[in-house]
Structures are given as structure tokens and as C-alpha cells.
Amino acid sequence: MRISTFFYTLKQGVVNIFRNKWFSLASIATISACLFLFGLFYAVIANFQNMIKDAEEKVSLTVFFDETLSREEIEQAGEQIRQREEVSRIEFVSADQAWAEWAPKNLPEGWDEVYLENPLVGSDNYEIYLKDVSLQQEFVVWLESLPQVRDVRRSEMVATTLTGVNAIVAYVSLGIIAILLAVSVFLISNTVVIGISVRKEEIAIMKYIGATDFFVRSPFVIEGILIGLVGSGIPLAAIYVLYQKAIEYVALEFPALTGLMQFLPVEGLFHTLLPIALGLGAGIGFLGSFITVRKHLRV
């Protein structure tokens, strides 16, 4: 495409928007509403997944080794475990450390006079944290196959619950995105159909003098993309302000809640939301206009 042709199609795309301004405004408003709902939904889901991730990072496996193993042999086994791809980190807990932490919390005063020796001797272990809790079952099978391992303790119900919640969130997200996408494409399609009907004679003349389908269709595609971008920019600005105000309000009015729930900063949220929303807006506009022009541009 020559530069002059590019600027011509761009200009015609902008002209089309103003020529059908009421329908364009209706499409922009509806796309904005759809993407605003999508943005709010994404903000809730992103924070929810962030909380799930924090919970997953606290789920650990405890691995106990054969009591006959020396400290060096246990460390060698720990290094073997550390090399596994699914492992995030491991922490060594000696028998003395485990007893010193457990006894004061669970035994009555004077326990140190009753238990002169550590009853947990031989219980050196590693606490293992995984990158993805859904990999726990497979990882446990591998651990139990190691000859040095005596026992593996894990929170299977917690891991299963977190994995199930993640799956549900993913399915719901895909469903809502599909619905919003379909509604927005339909609206863009209607706007482009009206633009085609208004310019039917002009398009026919262009085709008769040899204009290619690409040349005729391009302004409508540009129109759809611009409508989509404007329709995504408006809700992004609104969500940015509202989300920031909401975080500040919660931190000020409910300080105890912020200690329990770690909200994503607005920059972290928009690092992903911004390109997704703009891409959805432009993609919706492109698909809606391209499909419609292809079906109705028969002159």
C-alpha cells in the first residue's frame, strides 16, 4: 500500500465515524460498557488469583528421611529435590529446630524439665514449596520413589481445592470474554452495515472505475478499529481512577482487611489489562467491520 493510499483510507475511516456519528457513538458507548464490565471483572479476578497464588505459595510438603542417613546424605537428597523444575524453594528443618518451635506452643509450662531429650531425634526434614500446587500429586509420587525418603506429608485437600478454584475462574473468565466479544462484534457490524448503505452509490462508482475490493473495504475496517480503540480507551481511564480510589479507600477505612488481602497495585493491574483491553477493542472493531464488509459489500 502506498503512503497516499494509506492516508486516504485512514481519512475516510475517520470521516465515516462522523458521517454516522449517532451510530458510531452508540457503538462506542456499548463497547465501552462491555469493556468496562470486562475491566471490573478482570480486576476482581486478578486480585482473586493473586490471593490464590499467595495461598499456594504457603502450601508446602514435608519430607522425612530414613533415620540412618547422615546430615551429608540428607543434604545431597535435598539438592536432588531442589533441582526439580516444579520446586520453588525448599527449607531444611532440623529435629532440634522442629522441637524448639513445636514444644512451647503445644506443651504446658515446665515441658523442658520433663523432656530432657528431644523426642524428635531423627526427624530432620525439608519443607518444599512448589511453583504450581496442581503438580503436587505427581511430585509426591516422585518423592516417594526416592530410597532416602521415609515419609511425605502434604495438604492434599488444600491443593485440590486451590486447583479447582483456579480452573473455575479460568472457565468463567473465558465465558464472559466470549459473551462480551460477541455483543461488541454485533454492534460494530450494525454500524458498518449502515455506513455501507449510506455510501452504496459511491462504492458502486468506485468499483466501476476499477477500485479494488481492498481499497473499498479499508475505510470501513479503519472505522471499526478506531471505534474499538476509542471504546476501549474510555473504560480504561474510568477503571484506572476508580480502582486507585477503591484501594485508597479500603486502606484508609479497613486497614485490617489490607493485612489479610494483598491487592494488586494499579500499575501491576494495568500492565496486563491495558494491552488486553486495547487489543480487544481493536480486534472487535476489525472483526466486526471485516466480516460485515465481506458479507454485504456486493456491488
pLDDT band at 168 (very low <50, low <70, confident <90, very high): confident
Q: What is the mean pLDDT of the chain?
A: 76
Return all residues near 254 (Cβ < 8 A) that are at least 6 apart. none
- For 60-154, CATH number out of 3.30.70.360, 3.30.70.3040, 3.40.190.10, 3.40.50.300 equals 3.30.70.3040
Tell me the whole-structure pTM to 2 decimals: 0.64
Position 238 scores a pLDDT of 93
What is the mean predicted confidence (pLDDT) over 51-60? 72
Which is higher by pLDDT, 285 or 236? Answer: 236
154 has pLDDT over 90: no
Amino acid at 278: L
Residue intervals of the chain classified under CATH 3.30.70.3040 are: 60-154
State the pLDDT at residue 159. Answer: 63
Q: What is the pLDDT of residues 172-225, one digit of tens each?
A: 777 877 777 677 667 666 665 665 666 666 666 766 777 677 777 777 788 888
Q: Which long-range contacts (CB under 8 A, 24 or more apart) does 91-99 make?
A: 91/126, 91/127, 91/129, 92/124, 92/125, 92/126, 93/124, 93/125, 93/126, 93/127, 94/124, 95/120, 95/121, 95/122, 95/123, 95/124, 98/123, 98/125
**Residue 265 CA: distances (Å) to CA of 244, 246, 250, 271, 285:** 8, 11, 13, 10, 30
pLDDT tens, position by position, 61-98: 888 888 778 888 888 888 888 888 888 888 888 777 76
